[in-house]
Structure 1
Amino acid sequence: MQALGELIGVHRLLDEVINSRLFWFVVGVVFSLITMALKVYFTNKNANKKLFLENVTVERGKWREQFRDEVASFSALASKHYYAVRDLDDGLAYRKFVSDIHELNQLRVKVRLRLNPRENIDSYDTKLVRTMKRVILQLEISRYDHLDRELIRIERCAQNILKNEWDKSKLEAITGKMEKSRNK
């Protein structure tokens, strides 16, 4: 019986606490603190994610611009070399080639390292690097009959790579999520 009396006493005490304004004030404050803490946590998490995505977008923009400049410089130098040597005899043409080969190879390697071409023979990055190598070989042996076609192939491959990178950046900006794989 004494246990039942204690239980009723505890029940009344609990009822008084629940009905008191102080209890509801404390519950409100605790709930508000938890809500604010969760809001700060998720806001901070989203802000960090947004900042990361913005930095990636900026870096991808720089990547596209540098890639565009390197490919354009390669094509311009190859064309310039062709127009400089097309009417020269083979000996003079080769001397001019020797002076241009270093820069052509340097640009080709920069592009290759920027792309990290895959094993897939049909990818634009692999086609671009192979075509750049063919242009250098054509200039080396003074065979210019397909040079224009090779330079156009370089432009088309570069355009496709740039378009794919742009589409990927645009999709990430819209969805707010990083693209997982590179599609070329």
Structure 2
Amino acid sequence: MTRPATRIELRREACEVITSETDRHLPRETGGILLGYGEDADIVITHALVVDGPGASTHTYVRDDVQANALLAAFLAPRADNDPTGYVGEWHSHPAPTGPSPTDIAAMQATAREHDGPVALLVHAPGARQPFFGLITRRQRSGRVTSKAATVLLPPSTSEALGPLPGGTVRGDGPV
């Protein structure tokens, strides 16, 4: 028996898409679908596709299902048969620093009823102390659907750490 997924590992390419699209659409919400695979007890997100949300506002995003299915089919079509990458969930942004709403959780539970494996939800709220909120929802063998908060592992920074500042750069009596 495998352990249920408890972490969402967000790879760089997917993270960049989500953060740039969130910034581009502020103050409205935006979102799309997540692609990746399961690895041990994690869901690894390798790609994030942006799906239009007609009528998106500062507190609502509902994706266009027809466009989402077309984008997913186009993404998967050229992939090799043995490529484990596939649909693993949904993402959207919250302009306010909040995690998944009760509406978000209910939508993910409806999605999980249609899937065999766990599905992830990432909410990107750039103003929050931790800007990514993760949720993993799954259908149990009994048919019951459960949702649990998940740790989101972000890609490592590509910026080099700053070394010591040159002498005299910072003075106790104010800026230089």
The bucket for the TM-score relative to the shorter chain is under 0.3
TM normalised by structure 1 equals 0.21
* Larger Rg over CA atoms: 1
Q: TM-score, normalised by structure 2?
A: 0.22
More helix by share: 1
